[in-house]
Amino acid sequence: MRRLTRNKAEDRKKKPLFVLSVVLLLSPACAENETHFPEQACSDFQKASFLQVTKLKVQFLLFTSSNSSCGQLISVGDDLKNSNFNTSLDTKIIIHGFRALGTKPSWISKLTSAFLQAAKVNVIAVDWVYGARGDYTGAVENVTKLSIMISELISKLLARGVSEKSIHLIGVSLGAHIAGLVGYLYGGRLGRITGLDPAGPKYTRASLEERLDPGDAVFVEAIHTDTDNFGIRIPVGHIDYFINGGKDQPGCLRFISLGYNLVICDHVRAIYLYISALENSCPLIAFPCSSHEKFLAGHCLDCMDPFLLSCPRIGLLERGGVSMETLPKEVKVYLMTGSSAPYCMYHSLVEFHLQQERSVITRLEITFRSSNSTASVKITIPKQQLLGRGVLAHQAPLCQVEVVMLKYLPKKHLWKTDEALIAGKFCTTAMPVSQREKMFCLSEYLFLMKDRPLELDLEVACAK
């Protein structure tokens, strides 16, 4: 890995020494917005042999609404006038990561199609399977050269009249740091970078000039799904989504011996979450919190701090749907998801208020049941306290939950037996929780006995 400069913040004011002036900062020229539809053969990703020596060989494949499933090969040396590129549209540039076997990413077509269905855009897929295969360290050594090549392409787009803010880089794993370096070469003026589980190996302790960081674009976001293996565990954007805490995704088995696809299941989940967010209206909303544990315990219920009640959302909304004029940097946000597409879940705060304090820890399990789904969470009420709370993620909106089941979980001690009966009140409300909203509480005290779950109808009114 190459260290670009000693002070990234200072060097953004200057042109990097190793970048030729012809590559960057070209003045946009006036260009026609006509879209051309030349007839040519479809181009696809290269196939690189695992046994060949690592060598960088890059292709840029253009996809538009006119050729959504047929890649159009474009070259930095061309003026792009004979392509389907439309200068009046935003441009999405997809950068894959390390490809151990030198194969085409299986998700690339799905992500390309999702972008084209979600918006009128140009999509450019960067094929660098040559140079991304075999040895991971060798792939990392190609990062700087590849970043310059992508920057040359962007300079060509700018010369045709494309604005810097219309450029959106989507980097997967190692590709996220490549996107960061490209953004750095443009002084952080490109519109947006989305890092899909940015790579951790060789980057967790890297300096800002070597990895993705909030200064690399006007808006930088990252989706973390494998922080304990292949993904980076530190925040790298303005907003960092830690899905299910950032590791151990539901639906991904933990048995490494079962195959390579299961080993990388957590890592690639970020890609499929993002595709799902583009394809479905069900929102993937997250909540700022200092830790995943505090989020699960119900301590982070709204987005007031720091987003002034505008909760960030995965997808194409401008700046993630956050309405603040100036975004803070490296804000960790959390959400829970399902085990399969569309992945989105509704989050509710659940509370149980004991009638009287107890000298031991009180544990309960709370279950929501709707017509086609069931979801549960366990909450704890500390000693000498009355309130226990937690966050319950469920597939149906709270107003469609039909039944709530409460189960008292007494603990057996060596020297005594826990009480067989407790009394208290149950309350819940949908998240985010604003100060204007009131908790829905069952009107009477509930008496819970061990080994006897209590089921009750839950009739929460739908929001108007």
Distance CA 15, CA 19 (A): 7
Distance CA 448, CA 445 (A): 10
- The half-sphere exposure of 283 on its side-chain side, counting CA atoms within 13 A, is 14
Distance CA 196, CA 272 (A): 10
Given 147, 155, 166, 173, the catalytic residue:
173
Given 90, 127, 197, 226, the catalytic residue:
197
Whether 352 contacts 373, CB under 8 Å: no
**CA separation (Å) from 108 to 19, 111, 170?**
29, 5, 11
Whether 458 contacts 401, CB under 8 Å: yes
Please, which residues have CB within 8 angstroms of residue 39's CB and are 6 or more apart in sequence?
none
What residue type is 156 in one-letter code? K
Element (H, E) at 121: strand 121-130
User: 177 catalytic, yes or no?
Assistant: no
User: 224 catalytic, yes or no?
Assistant: no
152 φ/ψ sector (left φ>0, alpha ψ -120 to 50, else beta): alpha
Which token pair is 293?
């544990």
User: 173 catalytic, yes or no?
Assistant: yes
| Bridge partners, 169 (sequence order) | 93, 193
Given 224, 267, 347, 394, the catalytic residue:
267
Nearest to 142 by CA among 96, 110, 103, 107: 96
Give first-to-last CA distance, the chain, whole Å.
54
Active site residues: 173, 197, 267
